[in-house]
A and B are shown apart, each in its own frame.
Chain A
Amino acid sequence: MSIKFPSDEWIKALMQELNQSQAYRDAARNWEGDFYFIVEPEGSLIEQTILYMDLWHGECRSACVVADEKEKAPEFRIRAPLSKWRRVIEKNLDPIQGLVTRQLKLQGNLMKIMKAPKAALELVNCCTLVPTEFPE
């Protein structure tokens, strides 16, 4: 059964996939940092949705939807409209290429991200394993 994106259920399903992935564990073994993935409204998605993930040494320690951007102070925020996130999750947009072309807007320590490109790739690989239903 497909899980609606963006939702608390979806980000928790991704957390489960990440924690089962040896490839992600290897690629992100040195990674320390948490994220907001901010889905900007578009089409039938009328409100911004903020997905939070705490990623630590190849493991996702927690994942949830947060109601207010001020609720947490993550090290990184990546912001994009729903259609761009869909292209990333369906592997039609390479996340690094998305950041380079500024289709995905990143706030945070860029140097740190550039040292972990493979972790980003494996994270997206795990996204594709979550059966996802997108709003029209």
Chain B
Amino acid sequence: MWYFISPDIVFGEDAISHLDEICGKRALIVTDINMVTMGYSEEVRKHLAKAGLEYRLFHEIESEPSLATVKKGAQVARSYRPDWIVGLGGGSVLDAAKAIWVLYERPDIQPEEINPFDNLRLRQKARLITIPTTSGTGSDSNWGLVLTDKTAKRKLGLGSREVHADIAIVDPKFASQMPPQLTADTGMDALTHAIEGYTSGWKNDFSDGLCLKAIQLVFNFLPRAYHNGDDSEAREKMHNAASIAGLGFGNSMASIAHSAGHSLGALFHISHGRAVGLFLPYTIEFAADVSANHYAEITHLLEVNTEGNNPAVSLVEAIRNLAQEINQAMKIKDLGISQDRFEKLLPKLVSYADMDTQTVTAARVPTTDEYERLFRYAYDGKSVDF
């Protein structure tokens, strides 16, 4: 028994105009200062006005949103009493919007208590719209969220089948201004979602096709979007790829590139996409034997010549070529992290990854010792041989 959860997805050019048709009285737009500066929040406001909705802006979401920020946002929601929460931004903003929505609906719980085991009974006060402005997070179309406990310097991977958007608006216009580095980081995030979603221990018939399609789109269009931000076709395809991958892995879970990436990101402040993308080749090598058939299916789809190799080896080579083309770091050392700092925090890196919820959904679950070796190999850029 399992579930396939999806919002209504409105996608393509001018998808934002769907806002003109929604019914309601008040919307709380949850966003960050960049979206205000770029005029995106104003654009959303105009469409809400066409639908006859009043609005209020909460634009205080930071990168890696904290528990304190989402509690503050929930207070704003409680005083304004919206019937729509509109998340406008990248993964951090959309995750924060989800948390603010839950805390608005359920003032009796703490953000850390958002969990998949309880019935949260949401949608009594408001519904959720997500509008992604980066092409990678997939938060617009899945039911997970990541918040940061700034005190413990730890990321909290949370989720509930109820915490998904009612409507996801995937309009490429909002991703068209992403600079190359952000395009690359978020694109690698989408690729990691798709590959891990296709190979996790919880993979299933409903998510498989979505993950494969997203992998194909990323390989075909990420280099184009990176090299030429004005390539509107590449921008649109990458925006779709990110949401498709989000829907795919959101229903089959991710794996240990995410566990390791969450840990590295929390301790060294590395962007999520860059961190998980860095670990992807190492974790594929680690699962090379147990997931060989699935990696073979991916290389077949991508028309990668495996020449009698283990397909994981060929897939890793294709990913490293892609990462190189878009100037992504391929080892931890290349992120500017000194050996001393790395060694000092290695026990925490391992411990956090070990406790991450995405670890247990891996096709091959590392032992604590194996995690330590994985981190060391990723630091030096060594191919995993254990």
Contact = CB atoms under 8 A, between A and B. Distances in A.
Contacts of B1: 101, 103
B117 A102 contact: yes
Given A110-B118, A117-B360, A97 B202 contact: yes
A120 B360 contact: yes
Interface residues of A, number: 22
Given A26-B368, A94-B202, A111 B2 contact: no
B359 interface: yes
B296 interface: no
Interface string A51-77: 000000000000000000000000000
Contacts of B202: 94, 97
Nearest to A105: B117
Nearest to A98: B1
Interface in B357-379: 357, 359-361, 365, 367-369
Given A94-B202, A101-B1, A118 B115 contact: no
B230 interface: no
Given A26-B368, A118-B365, A101 B359 contact: no
Contacts of A117: 355, 357, 359-360
B354 interface: yes
Nearest to B159: A100
A118 B259 CA distance: 12
B117 A111 contact: no
A18 to B, nearest CB: 16
| B1, B112, B118, B201: most-surrounded residue (chain A CB, <10 A) | B1
Nearest to A29: B368
Contacts of B205: none
B355 A100 contact: no
Nearest to B112: A111
Contacts of A27: 354, 368
A110 to B, nearest CB: 5
Contacts of B3: 101
A102 B368 CA distance: 29
Interface in A94-136: 94, 96-97, 99-103, 106, 110-111, 113-118, 120-121
Given A94-B201, A97-B2, A121-B360, A116 B355 contact: yes
5 contacts: A27-B368, A99-B116, A101-B2, A118-B359, A118-B365
Given A94-B201, A94-B202, 9 more contacts: A94-B360, A97-B202, A100-B116, A102-B117, A111-B112, A114-B115, A115-B355, A118-B354, A118-B365
Interface of B: 1-3, 112-113, 115-118, 161, 201-202, 354-355, 357, 359-361, 365, 367-369
